[in-house]
Amino acid sequence: MKHISCYYKRLKIRKLKIAILAVIVSIFFLPTYVAFQSTGNNMFTILLNGVKVGVVGSPDEASEYAREARKQLASHSEELVLVESDIEAVGSEVLWGKVDEKDTVISNMAMVLADDVRETMNRSYVVKINELMINLSSEEEVMELLQAAIDKYDSEGKYTVELLLDPSRELPVLTTNVISREEAKEQVAEAVNLNAGIDAEIAEVFETVEPDLEKSFEDYDLGLISLDFGDTIEVVEAYLSDEELSGIDEAIEMVTKDQEKSEVYEVKSGDTLSGISLETNIPLDRLIEMNEALEDENSMIRVGDELVITVPEPELTVKRQEEMYYEEDYEEDIIYIDNDDWYTTERKTLQEPSAGHRKVVAIVSFENDKQVAKEIIKEEITYQAVPKIVERGTKIPPTYIKPISGGRLSSNFGRRSAPKKGASTYHKGVDWATPTGTAVVASSGGTVAKAGWGSGYGYVVYINHPDGRQTRYGHLSKVLVSAGQTVSQGQKIALSGNTGVSTGPHLHFEILINGTQVNPLKYLN
């Protein structure tokens, strides 16, 4: 009995050892348990969008499982799926702990993501024209939009649009090319015709052999000969929501409808505000309103001035060339004969012009509906135009400056009430009130014609200038130059005063052209 009792005792000890060994083996070899390590958190509860989806051994595992879940969700849609994906890992340090199977965690994540799908993104196309961007749902709609822009000017349907990869861009960006439908057919034919290259060479040889005969008017194929876009167009693929897409009809209207755009008009020789209004088709009051420098219809404009104008133009510019036949009256360019002894203000017409008449075939260039250039390729004169011949001066004329510094304008040029008995009711100059003794300078360089007493003028100085004009300075207190003396512009010639017929200290100043007084203020710089 004693032996049996010892045997059972050894048997219990052996079973206990086996049990302990099994536990150790399970610790090291079973994947659903994490061994205790006193190195910090070793088990993590994973929350996806605030929902518990499982327990894993590390945050990296959670990120990997989330990627797999997103792949599963996306595999059920042909478009791009956008979902909220906020992963939170709550760690803990445990001696024994059970983690969830990978497939279980991924499945739980996929269910949470499916509930949080925000929207399905459509594979779309973004068309960029200048600063305008239009989102369309398909390449077919892009082609329809661009074709509508050129069809506005191509009534016979000769041209078509194609999309090409832009070689200047690193990323895949499409740009446009407009070709004739005949050219498109030829490209297709060349792709399948092995002898196309040989045929082209033979044709080129015959072209060089055939004589270049002058065409008659009937030989020209009048009409549209080229068409292209005037703006750079970029087309890129994108994934967009339904709300971000434009309808094709709306997009066509955005691109082809005329809209007001600001442009600059440079004033040319002979321009008037009323003429510019007619040429630009802008009402005169609207033209004045757009330009702060213009006060009213009588405002002065000079050659080279720039005026802001608004013109109706579509968002997408279409450039085209048309071969056109027309008959017109025409004028020859003016012939100028330069005279180095004359000032640029002097000119004389030596021959009056008369219009001629001609028949013309021309290549006319347009941007949208605006003609921008014209090249005559055939011309037949019915009767010759006679040019205008003008002799003109080349010397720069002298300038005129205010003859005193400061002073108050006390009497303007023109009709007035006589301020004093003996004074004229028509003032032939301008007066500046200034203290006696103010320096008076030559308004322009020239030769002193008179210096001394001048009756009603009191003490006075007359100066003759090279351009034939004369200046007069009256009511002086002292004269500092003498007749026959040459003076330069700005040289001191006298002191102001109150002599002659005068109501107080001032300078009277005149400019005479061909012996007649003019308003000096119009000629002072």
**CATH code of the domain in which 349 resides:** 3.10.350.10
User: Does 22 reside within a domain?
Assistant: no
Residues 422 and 350 in one domain: no
When mean pLDDT is compared across 175-179, 348-352, 385-389, the lowest value belongs to 175-179
Of 80, 115, 150, at which residue does a domain stop? 115
User: Does 335 reside within a domain?
Assistant: yes
pLDDT class of 486 with cuts at 50, 70, 90: very high
Residues 431 and 515 in one domain: yes
pLDDT class of 186 with cuts at 50, 70, 90: confident
Percent of the chain topping pLDDT 90:
50
Residues 515 and 417 in one domain: yes
Percent of the chain topping pLDDT 70:
83
Residue 71 has a CB neighbour count (10 Å cut-off) of: 11
Quote the crossing angle between the two packed helices 248-256 and 139-151, to the nearest 10°: 40
User: Does 352 reside within a domain?
Assistant: yes
Residues 340 and 223 in one domain: no
- Residue whose structure tokens are 């100085």: 461
- Model pLDDT for residues 487-514, shown as the tens digit of each residue: 999 999 999 999 998 889 999 999 999 9
- Return the pLDDT at 418: 56
Helix (H) or strand (E) holding 449: strand 446-453
User: Does 14 reside within a domain?
Assistant: no
- Whether the pLDDT of residue 170 is over 90: the answer is no
Distances (CA, A) of 420 to 254, 362, 427, 429, 496: 72, 71, 12, 16, 19
Highest mean pLDDT (candidates 31-45, 169-183, 451-465): 451-465
Instruction: Compute the mean pLDDT over every residue in the chain, rounded to the nearest whole number.
Output: 85
Q: What is the pTM of this model?
A: 0.51
Of 230, 255, 280, at which residue does a domain stop? 255
Beta strands in 166-266 (DSSP E): 174-180, 223-229, 233-240, 259-266
Residues 131 and 226 in one domain: yes
User: Does 7 reside within a domain?
Assistant: no
pLDDT class of 310 with cuts at 50, 70, 90: confident
Residues 268 and 250 in one domain: no
Alpha-carbon distance of 476 to 497, in angstroms, equals 4
Note whether 476 and 505 are within 8 A (CB). Answer: no
Helix (H) or strand (E) holding 10: helix 2-29
- Model pLDDT for residues 72-117, shown as the tens digit of each residue: 877 776 655 666 678 999 988 888 788 999 999 999 998 888 876 6
- Return the pLDDT at 461: 98
Residues 381 and 351 in one domain: yes
Mean pLDDT on 302-326? 90
User: Does 31 reside within a domain?
Assistant: no
Residues 149 and 78 in one domain: no
The better pLDDT of the pair 316, 116 is held by 316
The better pLDDT of the pair 18, 101 is held by 101
Of 115, 141, 170, at which residue does a domain stop? 115
User: Does 24 reside within a domain?
Assistant: no
- Return the pLDDT at 173: 82
- Return the pLDDT at 180: 84
- Return the pLDDT at 511: 97
- Return the pLDDT at 206: 45
What total number of domains does the chain contain? 4
Residues 373 and 478 in one domain: no
Residues 299 and 343 in one domain: yes
Distances (CA, A) of 218 to 61, 262, 321: 82, 42, 19
User: Does 10 reside within a domain?
Assistant: no
- Whether the pLDDT of residue 377 is over 70: the answer is yes
- Indicate left, alpha or beta for 281 from its phi (over 0: left) and psi (-120 to 50: alpha): left
Residues 62 and 152 in one domain: no
Which CATH number is 471's domain given? 2.70.70.10
What's the domain range around 111?
A: 43-115
Residues 506 and 465 in one domain: yes
